[in-house]
Amino acid sequence: MSEVTRVTPDPDRNLALELVRATEAAAINCSRLMGFGDKNAVDGAAVDAMRPVLGSVRMNGVVVIGEGEKDEAPMLFNGERVGDGSGPEWDIAVDPVDGTTLTAKSLPDAVSVLGVSPRGTMFSPGPAVYMQKLVVPGYVADQVDLDAPLADTLARIAKTTDRSVSELTVAVLDRPRHEQLVAEIRQAGARIRFLLDGDVAGAIMAVTPGTGVDMLVGIGGTPEGVLGACALKCLGGELVGRLIARDETEKRAILDAGFDLDRVLTTEDLVAGDNVFFAATGVTDGALLKGVRFEARRIITHSLSMRSRSGTVRLIEGRHDPERSFLVNH
């Protein structure tokens, strides 16, 4: 007689799918303002829709990465409690729209994202707004050095995947500060995918087959680095980075807060533990996810739902009835 597999009850098993409801709501609401040119209105619409859905989720969450301090953001601010208050505590990282400008201008790759990990396991960046980042797939994670020439890192990826460097694509935020970095990539012979905004999606692309991106490099937001690390914990990729000060005043604030500007941070430093959840819903069309579609009597969303403990990654197409769905009436 064959053995029957015993399934152990898992009280957290539905959390990953519950979080998708929040990103779907934010994506639907803010996408109604796509192309209107007002990024602040886009952000406000996403926050307004996400907050009530998060409040209904069975969890006891604390926002670690959010919309800023309480006096600047009325909802989803750092330190705010979210969820219905039941069960163990969780750290929450949230960006209702990673790419407000992208949405306002009808440009690709805007997403609504949300990461969750057990309380006390998520890195809080304090005054450190920016960080240097290098994101690579897991199969070369132990071979990369943040300070090594990019040509060396690209050569390792090419060798591991049996390709030439000229067949690799590097994602980089399109910013003046990356002029030298872009020159190095071109000199090495790799292709470049410029990101107009939103490097959370770029980090996920770098470790997801089929997106056409093999690596992400450059200086981007530290909160986005933590959110990206939540996804990488689930996908098996690696982020290595270092906090960056923009000026002497910010440097002093970072040092006074107890951070080490020389320390190389890893994915594990940004999000520790093995029970991390991540959800994302496309707002505008991109290489990672399709954007929100408004059709006759239904709204279509495309989302990712991930959990690090199981390694499960779900691609979810949501079909919402505008007359009945709780998500589309907020």
Taking only the tens place, the pLDDT of each residue in 2-57 is 555 554 455 566 788 899 999 999 999 999 999 999 999 999 999 999 999 999 99
Q: How confident is the model at residue 299 (pLDDT cuts 50, 70, 90)?
A: very high
In contact, 226 and 201? CB cutoff 8 Å: no
Residue 256, annotated ligand binder? no
Whole-number Å distance between alpha carbons of 240 and 319: 37
In contact, 48 and 326? CB cutoff 8 Å: no
Q: What size, in residues, is the chain?
A: 330
Q: Do domains 12-122+276-320 and 130-270 have the same CATH topology?
A: no
Query: Strands 215-221, 169-173: parallel, antiparallel or unpaired by DSSP?
Result: parallel
213's CB contacts (< 8 A; 6+ apart) are 169, 170, 171, 193, 202, 205, 206, 287
Residue 274, annotated ligand binder? no
Residue 5, annotated ligand binder? no
Residue 100, annotated ligand binder? yes
Domain ranges of the chain: 12-122+276-320, 130-270
Instruction: Look at residue 1 and tell me whether its pLDDT is greater than 60.
Output: no
Residue 89, annotated ligand binder? no
Taking only the tens place, the pLDDT of each residue in 138-188 is 888 888 899 999 999 999 999 999 999 999 999 999 999 999 999 999 999
Select from 330, 321, 314 the least CA-distant residue to 18: 314
Residue 43, annotated ligand binder? yes
Helix axes 39-56, 15-31, angle to 10 degrees: 150
Strand, coil or helix: 203 = helix
Q: How confident is the model at residue 249 (pLDDT cuts 50, 70, 90)?
A: very high
Instruction: Look at residue 330 and tell me whether its pLDDT is greater than 50.
Output: no
Q: What is the pLDDT of residue 70?
A: 55
CATH number of 130-270: 3.40.190.90
Residue 221, annotated ligand binder? yes
Residue 139, annotated ligand binder? no
Whole-number Å distance between alpha carbons of 175 and 92: 29
Instruction: Name the residue with higher pLDDT: 12 or 281.
Output: 281
Percent of the chain beyond pLDDT 90?
Answer: 81
Residue 214, annotated ligand binder? no
Q: What is the pLDDT of residue 5?
A: 52
Distance, first Cα to last Cα, the chain: 53
Written as six digits, the tokens of 203 are: 């980090």
Residue 98, annotated ligand binder? yes
Which CATH number applies to 12-122+276-320: 3.40.30.10, 2.120.10.30, 3.40.50.150, 3.30.540.10? 3.30.540.10
Residue 71, annotated ligand binder? no
Whole-number Å distance between alpha carbons of 314 and 15: 13
Percent of the chain beyond pLDDT 70?
Answer: 93
Mean pLDDT for the chain overall = 91
In contact, 19 and 80? CB cutoff 8 Å: no
